[in-house]
Amino acid sequence: MPSTPVVLRIRDDKTPKRKRIREMVVWCGSSVNVSNGQESSVVILVPDARNGHRDGYRGQARPISPTTSDSMKRTFLESAKEHKPLLGSFLSFNTAYAAQILARCGFDWLMIDMEHAPLSAQEATNMVHSTVAASQGTCMPIIRVPSHGVEWIKWALDSGADGIIIPMVNNKTEMDLIIKRALYPPAGARSSGPFRTPFADLDPAATMSRYRTQTVASTVVLPMIESVEGVENADAIMSTPGVDGIFVGPVDLRSSMGFAGPDGDEEQYLNALDKLLAIGKRLNKPVGILLSPTAPQRQIEMGFDYFLMTGDADLMSRAAMTMLAATGDLIKSSRGQA
Same domain, residue pair 46 and 114: no
Same domain, residue pair 15 and 111: no
Least confident of 94-103, 203-212, 246-255, 324-333: 324-333
- Report pTM: 0.78
Same domain, residue pair 17 and 158: no
Same domain, residue pair 158 and 269: yes
At 236-293, the pLDDT tens digits run 999 999 999 999 999 999 999 999 999 999 999 999 999 999 999 999 999 999 999 9
Residue where a domain stops, chosen among 45, 64, 83: 64
Q: Which pLDDT value is given to residue 107?
A: 97
In the predicted structure, residue 179 carries a pLDDT above the cut 60: yes
At 132-175, the pLDDT tens digits run 999 999 999 999 999 999 999 999 999 999 999 999 999 999 99
| 86 in any annotated domain | yes
For the domain that residue 270 is a member of, what is the CATH number?
Answer: 3.20.20.60
Same domain, residue pair 30 and 114: no
| 323 in any annotated domain | no
Same domain, residue pair 173 and 254: yes
Residue where a domain stops, chosen among 64, 81, 111: 64
In the predicted structure, residue 95 carries a pLDDT above the cut 80: yes
**Residue 41 sits in which domain range?**
5-64
| 333 in any annotated domain | no
Same domain, residue pair 56 and 77: no
Quote the percentage of the chain above a pLDDT of 90.
72
Same domain, residue pair 60 and 79: no
| 222 in any annotated domain | yes
| 127 in any annotated domain | yes
| 98 in any annotated domain | yes
pLDDT tier at 331 (50, 70, 90 boundaries)? confident
Same domain, residue pair 82 and 208: yes
Q: Which pLDDT value is given to residue 145?
A: 98
Active site residue ranges: 116
Spell out the SS3 assignment of the chain: CCCCEEEEEEECCCCCHHHCEEEEEEECCCEEEEEECCEEEEEEEEECHHHCCCCCEEEEEEECCCCHHHHHCCCHHHHHCCCCCEEEEEECCCCHHHHHHHHCCCCCEEEEECCCCCCCHHHHHHHHHHHHHHHCCCCEEEEECCCCCHHHHHHHHHCCCCEEEECCCCCHHHHHHHHHHHCCCCCCCCCCCCCCHHHHCCCCCCCHHHHHHCHHHHCEEEEEECCHHHHHCHHHHHHCCCCCCEEECHHHHHHHCCCCCCCCCCHHHHHHHHHHHHHHHHHCCCEEEECCCCCHHHHHHHCCCEEEEEEHHHHHHHHHHHHHHHHHHHHHHHHHHC
| 188 in any annotated domain | yes
Residue where a domain stops, chosen among 48, 64, 80: 64
Same domain, residue pair 29 and 78: no
| 76 in any annotated domain | yes
Same domain, residue pair 193 and 116: yes
Tell me how many domains the chain contains: 2
Same domain, residue pair 102 and 56: no
